[in-house]
Amino acid sequence: MIDASNAEGRGAPVYSLVIPIFNEEAVLPLLVRRITALIDTLDASAEAIFVDDGSRDTSVIFLRGMAAGDPRFKLIELSRNFGHQIAITAGMDAAAGDAVIVMDADLQDPPEVVHDLIAKWKEGYEIVYARRVKREGESLLKRLTASLFYRVLEQMTSVTIPRDVGDFRLVGRKALETFKRMPERDRFVRGMFGWMGFKQAAVAFERPVRAAGETKYPFWKMVRLAVHGIVSFSDKPLRLALWAGLAVSGIAALLGVFAVFSWLFETGVVHGWTSTVVIISFLSGINLFMTGVIGLYVGGIHAEVKRRPLYVIDRLTGFEEAIAAMSGDEATRGRPPASRERRFG
Ligand code: UDP
Ligand code: MG
Strands 127-135 and 200-207: parallel
Among 217, 219, 223, 311, which residue has the most ligand 1 atoms within 8 Å of its CB, making it the best to mutate? 217
Distance 80 CA to ligand 1 centre (A): 15
pLDDT of 340 strictly over 60: no
Of the listed ligands, the closest to the CA of 82 is: 1
Give percent above pLDDT 90 in the chain: 37
Of the listed ligands, the closest to the CA of 167 is: 1
pLDDT digits (tens, 9 = 90+) for 70-115: 889 999 999 999 999 999 999 999 999 999 999 999 888 899 899 9
Residue 208 to residue 27: CA distance in whole angstroms: 14
Average pLDDT over residues 124-153: 80
Of the listed ligands, the closest to the CA of 17 is: 1
DSSP tag of 230:
H
DSSP tag of 340:
-
Distance of CA 38 to the CA centre of its chain: 25
Distance 104 CA to ligand 1 centre (A): 7
- 220 CB neighbour count, 10 Å cutoff: 8
pLDDT of 167 strictly over 80: yes
pLDDT digits (tens, 9 = 90+) for 274-287: 677 677 777 777 78
Among 35, 52, 57, 104, which residue has the most ligand 1 atoms within 8 Å of its CB, making it the best to mutate? 104
pLDDT of 153 strictly over 80: no
Which residue type, as a one-letter code, is found at position 250? G
CB 238 within 8 A of CB 294: yes
Instruction: Name which of 96, 24, 72, 25 is nearest 318 in CA terms.
Output: 72
pLDDT of 324 strictly over 60: no
Closest Cα to atom 8 of ligand 1: 83
Residue 339 to residue 345: CA distance in whole angstroms: 18
Distance 164 CA to ligand 1 centre (A): 16
Question: For all residues of the chain together, what is the average pLDDT?
Answer: 81
Which atom of ligand 1 is the closest one to the Cα of 222? 25
- Select the highest-mean-pLDDT range: 33-42, 153-162, 259-268, 280-289: 33-42
pLDDT number for residue 267: 64
Of the listed ligands, the closest to the CA of 20 is: 1
Residue 221 to residue 73: CA distance in whole angstroms: 29
Residue 22 to residue 215: CA distance in whole angstroms: 10
Strands 165-172 and 99-102: antiparallel
Among 85, 205, 216, 224, which residue has the most ligand 1 atoms within 8 Å of its CB, making it the best to mutate? 216
Which residue type, as a one-letter code, is found at position 267? T
Name the residue ranges covered by the structural domains of the chain: 4-234+309-332, 236-306
Distance 60 CA to ligand 1 centre (A): 15
325-328-331 Cα angle (round to 5) = 110
pLDDT number for residue 345: 33
Give percent above pLDDT 70 in the chain: 86
User: May I ask the CATH class of domain 4-234+309-332?
Assistant: alpha beta
Average pLDDT over residues 112-125: 93
Higher per-residue pLDDT: 186 or 94: 94
Tell me the H-state helices in the chain: 6-9, 28-41, 59-69, 84-94, 113-122, 140-156, 173-180, 189-195, 219-233, 236-265, 272-305, 320-326
Q: How confident is the model at residue 34 (pLDDT cuts 50, 70, 90)?
A: very high
Give the side-chain half-sphere CA count within 13 A for 157: 25
Residue 254 to residue 258: CA distance in whole angstroms: 6
pLDDT of 308 strictly over 50: yes
Which atom of ligand 1 is the closest one to the Cα of 108? 23
Q: Which residues of 16-31 are buried (b: 16+ CB within 10 A; e: fewer)?
A: bbbbbbbbbbbbbeeb
CB 132 within 8 A of CB 166: yes
Distance 323 CA to ligand 1 centre (A): 27
pLDDT number for residue 336: 39
Higher per-residue pLDDT: 237 or 202: 202
Q: How confident is the model at residue 10 (pLDDT cuts 50, 70, 90)?
A: low
Residue 261 to residue 266: CA distance in whole angstroms: 8
Ligand 1 surroundings by CB, under 6 angstroms: 20-22, 24, 53, 81, 83-84, 87, 104-106, 108, 215-217
pLDDT number for residue 183: 83
pLDDT number for residue 342: 34
Residue 222 to residue 207: CA distance in whole angstroms: 18
Q: How confident is the model at residue 187 (pLDDT cuts 50, 70, 90)?
A: confident
Containing 100, the helix (H) or strand (E) segment is strand 99-102
